[in-house]
Amino acid sequence: MIRSRRTEDGGRNRGGDNSRRRLSSVLCLLLAVLSSCSRAPKGAGKRGQPTTPPAVPVTVSPAVQKTVPVQIQAVGRVLPYAVVSVKARVDGLVTAAHFKDGRYVKAGQLLFSLDPTPYEAQLKQAQANRAKDQAQLENARKQVERNAAVVGKGYVSKEQYDQAVASAAALAATVKADEAAIETAQLNVQYCSIVSPITGRAGAVQVDVGNLVKANDPASVLVVINQVQPIYVSFYVPENTLPDIRRYMAAGPLAAAAIVPGHENAPVRGKLSFLDNTINTSSGTIQLRARFANENLWLWPGQFANVTLTLTSLPNAVVVPSQAIQTGQKGPYVFIVKPDLTAEYRPVTTGQTVGNESVIEKGVQPGENVVTDGQLRLTDGAHVRIAPPVTTGTAGSTAGAAGGPAP
């Protein structure tokens, strides 16, 4: 009996030891799992707290307060101030051309000569007719004087006297007609020398020496002359700008500037000189024309030009680079870099755009730094690192001036 109890007690002891071992193993496994879960990730702080995201590199530019012109941009076409198609005023044979194609000619300069021989002969004939009729007129007047002295005495009838007076009057009229014929012949001789009516640039000579030209023939244009000093630029603007243009025109002439290829940094200055009296209903635009002195001859007829019409100026306007303005679901916005180097989302109201700058009517104060590059990686409150501006040859643009790299 005693052996049996020992054996039973020993079995119970061995079973309890196994249970305790299994429990210890489970506890150790749980401790290991908990230890691995509570282990701090790489880059964590001393107490296992996660660090802030890395700062986003951006370039910034300060908002500037200055006077900004209110302008209208358009593409125009250069037009000559005057165009003259030179034609012959009399029929004749071209005997000489006194200029070369494309040369600059002055008003009154001799361009072509026609053969004057036929008209000189007509002039001589008209002068001879006048001399003959003048002699007959003098004789008729003397006859009137003689008849006047004896008509009352009965030597000459009243009818003969009246006939002498009428004959003298007819001859006087004939002499005047002869004088008019002489003037016409003199003009025809003068018209054989064709001169330039304006000062300008001549085109190609369209008739050769030896050709016969006809008076005022549309097909007999000798040369076309364009007056290019001064010169016009014609352009069209939307009809919704008409009220502003008319309002500012009432205060004085509006300044215009034209830029042509090759002289982008030196616009030609002029004044608005023409506003059309009707709006083009098919395009919803109205035609304007500006006058330029064109002293350097940079504007050439038929050339395209970028025209800037200045209406007025906005004093104390807040201006930022146009690339700083982004467009979201709620409209335009910018990111402001605060002194603590965090980004702030700021909705804005934009105004006039001049060159690469835009006016901010509401949302930005002068001196605040706006982000000009790197906005796509920003969120409201994100930490930023101000990087120096980068110029890329392919993009052709330079980021706004940076406030300096973060220390």
pLDDT tens digits, 304-319? 999 999 999 989 999 9
Q: Which pLDDT band holds residue 404 (cuts at 50, 70, 90)?
A: very low
Q: How many CB atoms lie within 10 A of CB 228?
A: 22
pLDDT value of position 2: 44
Q: What tokens were used for 148?
A: 């006047």
Q: What residue has token string 């296992």? A: 48
Task: Quote the CA–CA distance of 107 and 199 in Å, as a whole number.
Answer: 5
Instruction: Output the CA–CA distances (angstroms, integers) from residue 349 to 326, 346, 362, 376, in the order listed.
Output: 11, 10, 5, 20
pLDDT value of position 400: 39
Q: Does residue 34 surpass a pLDDT of 70?
A: no
Domain boundaries, the chain: 57-67+315-386, 71-80+230-314, 82-222
pLDDT value of position 394: 41
Give the percent of the chain with pLDDT over 70: 82
Least trusted range by pLDDT, from 72-86, 105-119, 342-356: 342-356
pLDDT value of position 43: 47
Say whether the peptide bond before residue 261 is cis (omega within 30 degrees of 0): no
Cross-strand bridge partners of residue 305? 76
Average pLDDT, the chain: 85
- Mean of the pLDDT values across residues 91-110? 94
- Whole-prediction pTM: 0.66
Q: In terms of Cα–Cα distance, which of 385, 399, 378, 247 is closest to 312?
A: 247
Q: What residue has token string 């509401």? A: 362
According to DSSP, residue 202 is labeled: E
pLDDT value of position 153: 74
Q: How many CB atoms lie within 10 A of CB 263?
A: 14
Fold entry, domain 57-67+315-386: 2.40.420
Instruction: Output the CA–CA distances (angstroms, integers) from residue 22 to 16, 293, 407, in the order listed.
Output: 10, 105, 58
CATH code reported for the domain at 71-80+230-314: 2.40.30.170
With beta carbons less than 8 A apart as the criterion, state whether 258 and 76 touch: yes
Q: In terms of Cα–Cα distance, which of 209, 287, 225, 256 is closest to 83?
A: 225
Considering only residues 327 and 160, tell me which one the structure prediction assigns the higher pLDDT. Answer: 327
Least trusted range by pLDDT, from 226-240, 244-258, 375-389: 375-389
Q: What tokens were used for 114?
A: 């026609």
CATH code reported for the domain at 82-222: 2.40.50.100
Task: Quote the CA–CA distance of 23 and 80 in Å, as a whole number.
Answer: 105
According to DSSP, residue 138 is labeled: H
Q: 114 exposed, middle or buried (CB, 10 Å; 0-12, 13-18, 19+)?
A: buried
pLDDT value of position 64: 94
